[in-house]
Amino acid sequence: MNKLSPALESRLSTPLKIGSVEIQSRVLQSPLSGVTDLVFRRLVRRYAPDSMMYTEMISATELHHLKELPKIMEVDPQERPISIQLFDCRPDFLAEAAQKAVAEGADTIDINMGCPVNKITKKGGGSSLLRQPEVAAAIVKEVVNAVDVPVTVKTRIGWNDEEITILDFAKTMQNCGAQMITVHGRTRAQGYNGNSRWEWIARVKEVLDIPVIANGDIFSVESAIECLEVTGADGVMCSRGTLGYPFLVGEIDYFLKTGQILPAPTPIGKLECAKEHLQALYNYKGKQGIQQARKHMAWYAKGFAGAADLRSQLSLIDTVQHGIEIIDRAIIELNNSNKTSVCNKAT
């Protein structure tokens, strides 16, 4: 395991300051659409009591037309610090949405300027704002004026390899009042392919005064440390590494604070967590929760003998009971094979 260099240790020993908000952790749980609902965030929070959480991204236009706050925006007062993430291209709708988010308890407002999905970019939101820096600037200014919590931006390094515009873009965001920027080190054209180019994040860090959070390819404690060393960033944000693994943010945070590695959860520990996740999704969302749980269950069922078979069974669950029975059978099999391997070792 990499040890923290003394320079890194001293750089990370103070709280992360996002404007007026102080966070006692340098590891953040990213916004993940379809994933980071209240149920998932509660699981992450259990292992990462100090870290910043993010909601799934929320459309400001949709919010403008809704009479009631959508469930996706619901925040539990106990889960702070939390950022509510918004996306759109209309500064006025974003300002209005930000005010609703603050009323709901957001500690910061994050604006999504990185989503690569066509449906979003065609309407001028997400990463398409990298190509319209004047609109992005107007958005940040208007939202900053509308709320008294810090406004932050999450973006990518550029639209494609010919347009890596992050240095100017990030400076513009800072000049307009953004209090932190998270940089995913891929272009929009990359989607989620290839590497996150941390070297670009290092260059952003060199030219900004506000905190810079590094994102992309943080899948372990080791990769988090390497990323912090390479980029000089003020923190790291975990994304796909948390799918089926709500322990990751806590594991990295624990290492940064203590220099110690937490024991990894066993396959059985992960499956117990999967059962809890399934039950909680159903309690929170009813039938729709079961549907959403199928993908989570598949993510938990990885990395042990029989996992592929378990995944295909879990992709068909239609009740909590059904899911729990399948997982319980897998736990019994894992327990039996553990006993056999102990016997084999003993003989």
Ligand X SMILES: Cc1cc2nc3c(=O)[nH]c(=O)nc-3n(C[C@H](O)[C@H](O)[C@H](O)COP(=O)(O)O)c2cc1C
Torsion of CA 236, 239, 243, 245, to 10 degrees: 0
- Scanning 210-218, 282-290, 299-307, 319-327 for contacts with ligand X by CB under 6 A, the matching segment is 210-218
**Residue bearing tokens 């604070």:** 257
Interface with ligand X, residue 188, by CB under 6 A: no
Span interacting with ligand X, options 3-11, 44-52, 112-120, 284-292, rule CB under 6 A: 112-120
How far apart are alpha carbons 144 and 178 in whole angstroms?
Answer: 8
Cβ distance to ligand X smaller for residue 57 or 317? 57
Identify which range of 27-35, 39-47, 137-145, 283-291 contacts ligand X by CB under 6 A.
Answer: 27-35
Binds ligand X by CB under 6 A, chosen from 37, 56, 142, 234: 56
Q: 5: Cβ–Cβ under 8 A, 6 or more apart, which residues?
A: 229
Residue type, 240: R
> CA-CA distance, 232 to 254, in Å (whole number)?
19
**Do residues 33 and 57 touch, judged by C-beta distance below 8 A?**
yes
Does the footprint of ligand X cover residue 30 (CB under 6 A)?
yes
* DSSP code string of 87-108: E-S-HHHHHHHHHHHHHHT-SE
CB of 249 to ligand X, least distance (A): 12
Q: Using the rule CB under 6 A, which residue among 127, 187, 239, 292 binds ligand X? A: 239
* Nearest residue to 32 via CA among 288, 246, 205, 234: 246
What would you measure as the largest C-alpha separation in the chain, in angstroms?
Answer: 72
- Beta strands at 212-215 and 235-238: parallel, antiparallel or unpaired: parallel
Q: Which is nearer to ligand X, 234 or 326 (CB)?
A: 234
Catalytic residue among 89, 115, 238, 273: 115
Residues 24, 229 contacting (CB under 8 angstroms): no
The 3-state DSSP class for residue 183 equals strand
Candidates 12-20, 32-40, 167-175, 299-307 — which segment interacts with ligand X by CB under 6 A? Answer: 32-40
Residue (30 or 174) nearer to ligand X, CB: 30
Of these, 216, 244, 267, 323, which contacts ligand X (CB under 6 A)? 216
Residue 103 CB, shortest distance to ligand X, in Å, is 21
Q: How many CB atoms lie within 10 A of CB 90?
A: 19
For tokens 């070297």, the residue is: 199
Q: Which stretch binds ligand X (CB under 6 A): 108-116, 129-137, 272-280, 284-292?
A: 108-116
Is 343 labeled as catalytic in the residue annotation?
A: no
Q: Residues 26, 29, 31, 47: which binds ligand X (CB under 6 A)?
A: 31
Nearer to ligand X, 45 or 197 (CB): 197
Distances in whole angstroms, Cα of residue 73 to Cα of each of 16, 38, 46:
24, 9, 20
The verdict on 221 binding ligand X (CB under 6 A) reads no
57 forms part of the interface with ligand X (CB under 6 A): yes
61 vs 288: CA distance, rounded Å: 24
Binding ligand X (rule: CB under 6 A), the pick from 83, 112, 179, 190 is: 112
Q: Cβ closer to ligand X: 63 or 218?
A: 218
**Does residue 196 touch ligand X according to CB under 6 A?**
yes
User: Which chain residues interact with ligand X by CB under 6 A?
Assistant: 30-35, 56-57, 85, 112, 114-115, 154, 184, 192, 196, 215-218, 239-241
Positions marked active-site: 115
